[in-house]
Amino acid sequence: MRYIYILFFLGFVSWYGKAAISSQSELADFAQGAELWFAVESNLLAEPSSFSGSIELINKSAQALPAGKADWQIYLHMVRRLNSTEQAGLTLQHIQGDLHRIAPTTDFKGLAAGQTLQLNFQSAPWIISYSDFMPRAFIVAAGLMPEIFANTDTEEFSHFVRPMTEPRQLLRNIGAGDKFTTMTNEQRYRDNQAANGPPLTSSLLQQRIVPSPAKLQPGKGSAALSDKWQLNISAELQQEGQYLQQQLQQYFGTDIALATATGSQQIRLKLTDSQASHGAESYQLQISQDVIEITGTDKAGVFYGIQSLLALLPVKEEATSGVQLPQLLISDQPRYRWRGMHYDMGRNFHGIEVTLRLIEQMARYKLNKLHLHLTEDEGWRLEIPGLPELTELGAYRCFDLTEQRCLLTQLGTGPHTSGSGNGYYSRQQFIQLLRYAKAHHIDVIPEIDLPGHARAAIKAMEARYQRLNLAEQPEQAAHYRLTEDHDLSEYLTVQNYNDNSVNVCLESSYQFIDKVISELQQMYLDAGTELTLFHMGGDEVAKGSWQGSPACQQLIAMPDNDINSIDNLKPYFINRVAQLTAKRGLALAAWEDGLMATAAQPFARKQFQNPQIVVNAWDNIWEWGYGDRAYLFANAGYDVVQSPGTNLYFDHPQEAHPAERGYYWAARSTDTEKVFFYRPDHLYHNADFTRDGTAITDLAALLGRELPQLEKPENMLGIQGQLWSETIRTPAQLEQMLYPRLIALAERAWHKAGWEPDKASTAARADWQHFSQRLVSYELPRLQRSNSGHYLPPPGAIRNQGKIMANAAWPGLTIEYSVNQGQSWQHYQQPLPVTAQQIWLRSRLGKVSSRIIKL
């Protein structure tokens, strides 16, 4: 940041001087009446990757901020780090992460009722999305409880963020200039027109289940499935049979009886001995007039056959006594063994109910790996017996600079523990979650992110250390400590923390890790399942970690331990964790950067004793040169899960528009269509644009080197979607980001399309058209029936010859318009006359509507 300056605009109220705010009611009155606003001034500064912005405080209250130094401060959440500075009587200081503080000095001139104060600042890299700004700024004063500025205590960005409408606000100084222009109503209209094609017939649409089966042979005629049919279930498939029975009960409104003898009109579930030829999770579904038979190579195969049967059922708003199903034969098997979804509740916790709904939807679409990101700098989300501080302190954020009651508030939580993002799974809730996942044939992969991203654990174990020291139990106090006194290491992470790296040179760190793994294993056993894979994270460890650690200097000084410098500490830590997990019979997983020896070379696979090492390959920003790491790891003997930031990060915006939630560091936007067209078997075909929007026509030429090819395809486990939650504070926001992108992910994870890798082919475009039609007709209504929310793309619109014309992104969506600012809505059926009134438009399906566009 180069400068900060203050402008005062005097109102009509005179300044008489006033003592500091001295009561809770005065502080509350000020926060209730005053308004704090954020704005982007320009992203097109002369210096690349920087922006200028402003913080405006409008004093509409009856209270005044006094001149001179006083014991009040304003705290605000800002994901871009603003450098500490002092100007015109105010200091602006970065605290940790996204938390910043504004405080007065002796030179402060005061802020009377009716006055406005504005701070202008610079930071980096850019802000082109409203969701980069966090809510719940607050003011504190000596001896008083914090008070949130009322206009920021909301999830409506328009209440505290100024509009972004100008090119200087919407474009970035990046590369040769930002080629990703903001989506306009007109461009969306043209895109929608180009995407429209002939629809499927109702019969073909019913059979276009998601994910697509490997082979579907239609028969002649139909079967009249009703509540009079019976279930014939083999003994080993009781759980799967009960699941089907429950689903049909919800559909028909009455129980489907279990068969007492062989007879007609039965649904039969059974296993086959042909796994060797068909593979794990395979199934066959045959529907004839009086018999529906699902045969699986294993229980999971039978379960997926059940899902295909349920997918054929027409969507009904109310229970029905009977439906017509097409006679057909489906022979199906998965494309990949790993069909995953990663969910970060470490940044913001959303509760167990939304997680259970996620498991339900993953199972519906034959996804089988739920990667739970349980810990972060901003929160520890799982109760660990014997370490109560992890959740009593580490699961909550509030205003406590000493961090004795809670972590520092972050990510728009505000000053109170009741704020958004706080909470954790109790041990019993996690066991419930594991049981639910097991019943849905989903493996839960727990991630405890280490050694970076560990601030919550570090602070919690420091509180434990202090508690036991006060109780004169120094040996127990040190047992699980993750940091040490007199560590002078200096670093700053990508997320702007300088104290989030576990000290890898302390034996207590490994005692802590082993304790957590041991408790995890016991929870899995109590849930009737088994922990087989532990994810250690390993990503984004800041350079400079451990540089000033006395314990690390001592370890380096020890002879014959193969640790000669700070650079050796990362592989030392990874090997120690690998040994701990190997002794417990566990496979180990990590994000790709945790297992890179150099920027171009992974650690040797043979150095790890674990039966399996799984790598999430995520960093595929093509021009950075790392997009080939999925192949590098597979060729080096690791098992790889493709997790690319450019295509499968569901925390990114769904459209290039400031009103769309999410970060955009990997791609300007990632919509459902982009997920649908990810081609995991043709990695380099996904290289479409650089970050500035330049089309990539020759990736090897862009990188100036030959690209490695996949030599060991057997090591490519599959693909996984990622949802990071920095900007996602509520369950509703979570599900808007998840669905329907998760459904497109499932399509690619389960089914290899015949058109791959040519996504521009006629067959590819038709496949997308049919998929999106199926979304609207079947999948999204089913999501709504299960009480899950989802995203809808807004409509496109143009003015043409005195008329307003609108269209929808997906066939079958309704368009609604309003001429009275949303007080009432009407069904758009034909072009509207252009009037002096502002016209609002939105897409709608059932009880869900899109973002509103305004003309």
- The whole-angstrom separation of Cα 211 and Cα 748 is 8
259 touches 243 (CB < 8 A)? no
First to last CA, the chain: 37
Structure tokens at 449: 């992110």
Pairing, β 257-258 against β 230-233: parallel
Give Rg (Cα) of the chain: 29
Structure tokens at 830: 């034909």
595 touches 574 (CB < 8 A)? yes
Neighbours of 746 (CB within 10 A): 24
Q: Which residues contact 327 (CB under 8 A, 6 or more apart)?
A: 218, 219, 220, 221, 222, 223, 287, 288, 289
CA distances for 597 relative to 576, 602, 633, 643, angstroms: 16, 5, 12, 20
523 touches 459 (CB < 8 A)? no
Cis peptide before 757 (omega within 30 of 0): yes
157 touches 133 (CB < 8 A)? yes
* E strands in 186-274: 215-226, 230-233, 257-258, 266-271
- Look at the chain and count its residues: 855
The closest of 281, 277, 319 to 297, measured between CA atoms, is 281
Neighbours of 606 (CB within 10 A): 8
Burial class (CB in 10 A: 0-12, 13-18, 19+), 106: exposed
Residue 540 falls in the annotated catalytic set: yes
CA torsion 351-354-358-364 (nearest 10°) is 150
Structure tokens at 460: 């919690």
- The whole-angstrom separation of Cα 686 and Cα 758 is 10
CA torsion 796-799-800-805 (nearest 10°) is 40
- The whole-angstrom separation of Cα 360 and Cα 849 is 23
442 touches 368 (CB < 8 A)? yes
Neighbours of 238 (CB within 10 A): 11
Structure tokens at 387: 């370490």
The closest of 36, 40, 38 to 127, measured between CA atoms, is 40
Give bridge partners of residue 194 from the DSSP assignment.
none
- The whole-angstrom separation of Cα 625 and Cα 339 is 26
Alpha helical stretches, state H, 255-298: 275-278
- AA identity, residue 191: D
- The whole-angstrom separation of Cα 441 and Cα 443 is 7
The closest of 617, 622, 660 to 792, measured between CA atoms, is 660
Catalytic-role residue among 166, 540, 673, 747: 540
What region does 414 belong to: left with phi over 0, alpha with psi -120 to 50, or beta? left
Positions marked catalytic: 540
